[in-house]
Amino acid sequence: MLSPWALCDNNCSVGPRIDDLPNLFALLLAILFLAFLLVLIAVAIRIVANDARSRGKSPLLVVLLCLLSFPLGRIVWLIFRPEPMTRYAQ
């Protein structure tokens, strides 16, 4: 049976090598971009839910509309959302 080191041709090292740095940098940028995107989506959900609540609509339904049909759902909500509820009826 061959050992795993037999396939290494005497150039094996543990850990990242200097020629792997561009790949590691690209991976780091991708992870940071995805984290930023998740934070942006979380903030958008919070804003949409608060806006729906202030207008007397179900926040869950409005958030689902905006998330499942993004970005069209967000545009539809901005166009067709009702007026905010007032505290005192006139």
Residue 68 lies in a domain: yes
DSSP-based three-state secondary structure for 86: coil
Residue 1 lies in a domain: no
Q: CA 75, 80, 83 angle in degrees (round to 5)?
A: 125
pLDDT digits (tens, 9 = 90+) for 27-76: 999 999 999 999 988 888 898 899 899 988 899 998 998 888 877 887 88
Residue 76 lies in a domain: yes
Residue 90 lies in a domain: no
Residue 62 lies in a domain: yes
Residue 40 lies in a domain: no
Residue 13 lies in a domain: no
The encoded tokens of residue 54 equal 């202030």
Counting the structural domains of the chain, the total is 1
Q: What is the mean pLDDT of the segment spanning 9-32?
A: 77
Residue 13 pLDDT exceeds 70: no
- Smallest Cα–Cα separation from 67: which of 41, 39, 36? 41
5's CB contacts (< 8 A; 6+ apart) are: 12
29's CB contacts (< 8 A; 6+ apart) are: none
Full residue range of the structural domain in which residue 68 is found: 56-82
